[in-house]
C-alpha cells in the first residue's frame, strides 16, 4: 500500500457544523524523500524506500552515507519501504501530505507506550480477589496458574505479570479529517499508538 512516514504531534478536537466534538490526532506527515526505487528485475520485488527525519552526519554509518549520497539527499533517521505507488518515482523526489485527501481511510502503525513490568490486574484486567474475610495480601495476586498432577506444567501463553506496552500496534480504517498540505499536517479521527513525538507509518 502507498504511504508515508510521519511524527505524532498530539491530540485535539474538531467541531462539526452541528457543534459535535470529534477527538482527533495531529500528525506531521513528511516531507519524505525517495531514497531508493526497488524493481522486480534487480531486487525481486517492487517497492519505494522513503526517508524521514534528519540524522546527524557523525552518527551515520559509512554505507548509509553512500546510500543517501546516491539519492542526493541528507542522512535520514527513518527508512521505510512502501509499494503500490501509482506514479513513477525517482530517487531524490519528495512525498508530502498531499498524498492523502480528506475522507481517505488509512492504517496507522506505531510503537505503543511502554509501561514497564505490570501485574495481571493492570496488564490483563484481572478482577483480583475479594477484599474481606481476613485476606491481606492477595487482592491483586494472579491466583493459581496450573494443575497439581496433570499435566504438571504451565501452558504457554498463560496470562501473567510481565512487560506491558512497547509493542508495534496498527489501527485500521481511521478517517482523514483534514489535510494541511502547506504544513504537511494530517488530522486523523481517533487516537493512534505511541507517545508525542514518536514515529508512525501511515498507509492508504
Mean predicted confidence (pLDDT) in 165-175: 93
Three-state DSSP class for 97?
helix
As a whole-number percent, the residues of the chain with pLDDT over 70 amount to 100
List all residues 6 or more positions away from 30 whose beta carbon is below 8 Å from its beta carbon.
Answer: 4, 5, 6, 52, 94, 95, 96, 97, 99, 184
Query: pLDDT digits over 71-98, tens only?
Result: 888 888 888 888 877 777 888 888 888 8
List all residues 6 or more positions away from 161 whose beta carbon is below 8 Å from its beta carbon.
Answer: 117, 118, 119, 120, 123, 142
> Grid cell 512497547 — which residue?
166
pLDDT of residue 175: 92
- pLDDT for 159 beyond 90: yes
Query: pLDDT digits over 4-49, tens only?
Result: 999 999 999 988 888 889 899 999 987 888 888 888 888 888 888 8
Q: How many other CB atoms are there within 10 angstroms of residue 202's CB atom?
A: 28
- pLDDT for 150 beyond 90: no
Q: Which domains does the chain have, with CATH numbers?
A: 3-115+168-203 (2.40.30.10), 116-164 (no CATH)
Average pLDDT over the chain, rounded to an integer: 88
- pLDDT for 132 beyond 90: no
Amino acid at each position: 500500500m502507498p504511504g508515508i512516514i510521519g511524527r505524532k504531534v498530539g491530540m485535539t478536537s474538531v467541531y462539526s457544523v452541528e457543534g459535535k466534538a470529534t477527538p482527533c490526532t495531529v500528525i506531521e506527515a513528511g516531507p519524505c524523500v525517495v531514497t531508493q526505487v526497488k524493481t522486480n528485475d534487480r531486487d525481486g520485488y517492487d517497492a519505494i524506500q522513503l526517508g524521514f527525519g534528519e540524522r546527524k552526519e557523525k552518527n551515520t554509518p559509512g554505507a548509509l552515507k553512500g546510500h543517501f549520497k546516491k539519492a542526493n539527499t541528507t542522512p535520514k533517521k527513518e527508512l521505510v519501504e512502501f509499494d503500490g505507488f501509482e506514479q513513477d518515482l525517482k530517487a531524490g523526489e519528495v512525498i508530502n501530505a498531499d498524498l492523502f485527501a480528506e475522507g481517505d481511510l488509512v492504517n496507522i502503525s506505531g510503537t505503543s507506550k511502554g509501561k514497564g513490568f505490570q501485574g495481571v490486574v493492570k496488564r490483563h484486567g484481572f478482577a483480583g480477589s475479594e477484599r474481606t474475610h481476613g485476606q491481606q495480601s492477595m487482592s491483586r495476586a494472579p491466583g493459581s496458574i496450573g494443575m497439581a498432577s496433570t499435566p504438571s506444567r504451565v501452558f504457554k501463553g498463560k496470562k501473567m505479570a510481565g512487560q506491558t506496552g512497547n509493542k508495534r500496534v496498527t489501527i485500521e480504517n481511521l478517517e482523514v479529517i483534514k489535510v494541511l498540505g502547506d504544513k504537511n499536517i494530517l488530522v486523523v479521527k481517533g487516537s493512534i499508538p505511541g507517545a508525542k513525538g514518536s514515529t508512525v507509518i501511515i498507509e492508504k
